[in-house]
Structures are given as C-alpha cells and as structure tokens.
Amino acid sequence: MARSRVVRRVLAGGALLAAGWALRNVPAELGVRPLTAGGARAERMRASALFDGGVFVNPMPGRTLAPSKPPEGFWRDLFTQREARRPGGPVPLRAPTAGTSGELRAVWMGHATTLVEIEGRHVLFDPVWSRRVSPLQFFGPRRLHALPVELEELPEIDAIVISHDHYDHLDLATVRALTRLGDAPFLVPLGIGAHLERWRVPPERVIELDWEEEAHVAGLRFTATAARHFSGRAFTRNDTLWGSWAVAGERHRVFYAGDSGYFEGYAGIGAAHGPFDLTIMPIGAYSPAWPDIHMDPEEAVRAHLDLGGRTLLPVHWGTFTLAMHSWTEPPDRLWREAKARDVRIVVPRPGETVDPHAAPPVDGWWQTLGT
C-alpha cells in the first residue's frame, strides 16, 4: 500500500512538472500591453490618429457576428465537414532556389509566411515556423503540411516585416530564433515592439511605424499602410496596431496585405505607393461570421486591381484550418475570378520560387488533394 502511494505521488509530481514545462512560455506568448510600459512608445501610440479611448480603431469599421449567433449551418458544418477542411494527401513541397537574382522573386512558405527577394535584398513577411499557431504548442490550429525549409537554411535576411500580433502572424519561437540567427531589423506597426522587447529582441532592431510612416532599410523603402483588421494575443483587443506594407526598391515594388477585409482605401494605397509588381494577398479563412476582417478570393482580386498590381500571389490558405470553407475552395475561387477578370496570378507549392515577371501557368496542383 505504501509503495502504491509513493508511485502515485511520483506520477502526480511528474504530471505537474510536465504541465509546468508545457505552460512555461504562456506568459511570454500572451505578450504585453504596450501602454502599461509608458515612455516614448506609449506617447507615440496616443498621438496616432488611429488611437481612441485606449485602443486602436479601424477608420472603416469591421463587422463580426456574436458567438451566440453563428451563421446558418455553422454547427452542422463544424462536425460534418472536417475532412474537407484538410488536404486529401501530402501537400507537395519544393526547395527554394538558391542564390540571388538581383531582381524580384518570392517564396511562399505556407500560410502568410513569404520570403521576397527585391533587388538582392531578402525580406521575410510574417514568419511563423511553429507547429501550432497558439500560445500552447499542444492545443490550437496545427500545420497541415511540413515546412519547406528550416530557418537555419534561409538566406541572409535583411528585414523582417510583421503585419499584426495574432498568433498566425507573430510567433514567439520564430522571433527568438531569427533574433539569434541574424541581425535583421523587425518592422512592425505601433505597439508590437513591446512584445518583441519582452521576447528579448534588442530595441535597436525594432522599427515601429504608424500608417503612412516609412523607414529605409538595406536600400529599400518600407511604408506601413492601412488594413481592415484587429489585434490581440490575450483577453484584450487592439492594444497594438495592425497594417499592410508597401516595399519599394529602385526598380520593383511589392505590396503585402497582411490580414484585412476589403475596403475602398486600396485604390489610394496604389496611387500613393504603387503600381506594384507583386501583391501578396490573403485569400483564405473568410467567413460570413467575420465579413469585414478577412477577404474572400474575389475581394482579393478586386483589391489587387485597385492597387495597380501586376501579379497576385495568394497566401493565408492551405496551412492552418482557421475557417469552415474547404481546403481547395480559396484557390479554386481565386483561379476562376482571375480568369474572369484577366488577372495574372501565381499559385506556387510551398517552398517554390516564383518570378512575378515570368509567372508559370497555373496548373491546379491543389485540386488533386481535394476530399
């Protein structure tokens, strides 16, 4: 009897240690509330025209349905359409092309993470290398395909660009690894620098911008531009700003939309900072429950045209299940709309290097994985 009690205590102690180990990063994952730190960051946030009543706000309000009023068919689809939201087999991966072209190339790594080479400089957008997009690596949306390349195998990065602080766009483990592996600065919307400094990114490597502010890094001009979205990592929303980005070299211009619903301001962004050789547009995780904070594929094409884009690279689909639509629906709808409106698109496999000026024909590779 005494021996069984000892065994139970040892097992219980081991379980507690395991739980503590699994939860050790949660306080850091939740980030910080930038205003509580005060100082120059808080002053800049309060001075922003987008800051109102202690939080950032969209000039173009976004509708979301209350959890108590989901769209018709939500609960039915939640439990009966699970397999359709996953690929029906292994997602084909490619190894990024080595070397530097000196012109413009892009590699979609999965979800929103995209590596873009602009005139010999490498810019990494919303890097997420973790297995799950969650403060807990044993719970939350899990990858549906492997990463095409490890962080250590990336070329030297000149700039790391973050659109907002949601877990599927700002990843603690990836930030820490990139901080250790190189010295590239992080360009972020207002307030997000507080998270990064909490995660031990040196302050001199953090560049925080309000919409329409710009910074010059490695010979490229980075401008924070508008987006229709929201922010938050814990139980409060909109402590930090969200945004899109316009990146300009001497010969090429790229637009990264981050997360956003469609809004009329894309035409103004295009007029001020375009036209763009490449637009990187989100096409997945849309829902009638949040019609104004994520674009659907047709809206992505419309925004691309407003921006004066030449080639559209779709992201924010295929890697994590974040909405109720099927796995193949976003690229299917995008391809159909692009053909109807004579828009040039590239739909690469994860890891595949594409040249927006010599875009390969779309081959519908994802359709073989429909369920």
Give me the pLDDT at residue 369, please.
92
Whole-number pLDDT of residue 64? 63
Residue 40: alpha-carbon gap to chain centroid: 27
The conformation of residue 142, written as its DSSP 8-state character, comes to B
| For residue 148, cis peptide bond before it (omega within 30 degrees of 0) | no
Contact call for residues 168 and 133 (beta carbons, < 8 A) = yes
Edge-to-edge, what's the strand order for the sheet holding 220-225? 214-217, 220-225, 244-248, 253-256, 276-282, 309-315, 344-345
pLDDT of residue 21: 39
Q: Which among 366, 280, 299 has a CA at the least distance from the CA of 338?
A: 299
Residue 334's H or E segment, with its range, is: helix 329-340
CB 332 within 8 A of CB 74: no
Task: Give 158-210 as a DSSP string.
Answer: SEEE----STTT--HHHHHHHHHH--PPEEEETTHHHHHHHTT--GGGEEEE-
Q: Residue 292's pLDDT is what?
A: 93
Distance CA 76, CA 289 (A): 15
Tell me what pLDDT residue 265 has.
96
What 3-state class would DSSP assign to 51?
Answer: strand
- Return d(Cα 136, Cα 312) in angstroms, integer: 33
Could you tell me how far CA 155 lies from the centroid of its own chain? 20
Confidence (pLDDT) at 68: 53
Nearest by Cα to 176 from 118, 228, 130, 120: 130
Q: How many Å apart are CA 315 and CA 111, to the nearest integer?
A: 6
Residue where the block lists tokens 């590779």: 365
Spell out, as residue ranges, where the chain has pLDDT lower than 70.
1-24, 63-80
Spatial separation of the C-alpha atoms in residues 371 and 362, rounded to whole Å: 20
